[in-house]
């Protein structure tokens, strides 16, 4: 990769990392079950995967989301968030690439965000189970995480399909 492309990739990664942090912080709906919050960060995590690929998108999603947890006082979640959001983006990118060979862009994006959000729901449920020491805590976290997942998936697909894929400067993976 030449230096211009590398600079562009690193710049875009930094911007999407910051945007993930902001999207996670700006709208917070407190969650009683998880003692966390529902937010729009997943929207940018998934979009980052489609724009940057699995590794750089994973970095933007993981680091951006973990930074938001630290900034707003949920630092205990930051390590889990870093890992979960990284794997969400990594999965989203790879599932999209596999599905885009067989399905339309819209269908491939829907399938990829569904897989991505299942990782988020499962990851945070497992984390809640360990953090609070009970299977009940893990199960109680599922509805709130599912609500966040649905919201993030819908916004990601709509934003990308209606707006972002029409921007000529973005390389579509």
Res 105: pLDDT: 93
Question: Which parts of 24-72 are beta strand (E)?
Answer: 29-30, 37-38
Convert the pLDDT of each residue in 26-68 to its tens digit: 988 887 766 677 889 999 999 999 999 999 999 999 999 999 9
Parse the chain into domains and list their residue ranges: 3-166
- Tokens describing residue 4: 């211009």
Query: Given CA atoms 10, 16, 20, 21 in this order, what sign does their dihedral have?
Result: positive
Mean pLDDT, the chain, rounded, equals 92
Arithmetic mean of pLDDT, 81-92: 98
Please tell me the distance from the alpha carbon of residue 107 to that of residue 130, in angstroms, as a whole number: 35
Residue partners of 47: CB distance under 8 A and separation at least 6: 16, 156, 159, 160, 164
Percentage with pLDDT > 90 across the chain: 77
Q: What H or E segment, with its residue span, contains residue 78?
A: helix 78-99
Res 34: pLDDT: 62
Q: Which single residue is written with the structure tokens 């910051």?
A: 18
Convert the pLDDT of each residue in 116-136 to its tens digit: 999 999 999 999 999 989 999
Domain 3-166 has CATH 1.10.1760.20: yes
Res 130: pLDDT: 93
- Tokens describing residue 147: 């609500």
Percentage with pLDDT > 70 across the chain: 94
């Amino acid at each position: 990769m030449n230096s211009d492309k590398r600079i562009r990739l690193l710049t875009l990664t930094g911007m999407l990392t910051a945007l993930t942090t902001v999207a996670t912080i700006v709208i917070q709906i407190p969650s009683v079950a998880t003692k966390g919050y529902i937010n729009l960060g997943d929207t940018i995590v998934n979009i980052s995967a489609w724009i940057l690929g699995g590794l750089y998108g994973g970095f933007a999603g993981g680091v951006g989301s973990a930074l938001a947890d630290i900034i707003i006082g949920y630092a205990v979640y930051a390590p889990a968030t870093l890992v979960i959001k990284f794997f969400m983006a990594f999965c989203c990118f790879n599932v999209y690439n596999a599905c885009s060979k067989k399905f339309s862009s819209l269908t491939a994006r829907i399938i990829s965000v569904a897989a991505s959000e299942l990782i988020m729901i499962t990851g945070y449920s497992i984390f809640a189970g360990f953090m609070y020491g009970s299977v009940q805590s893990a199960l109680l976290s599922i509805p709130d995480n599912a609500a966040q997942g649905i919201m993030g998936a819908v916004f990601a697909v709509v934003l990308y399909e209606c707006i972002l894929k029409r921007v000529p400067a973005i390389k579509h993976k």
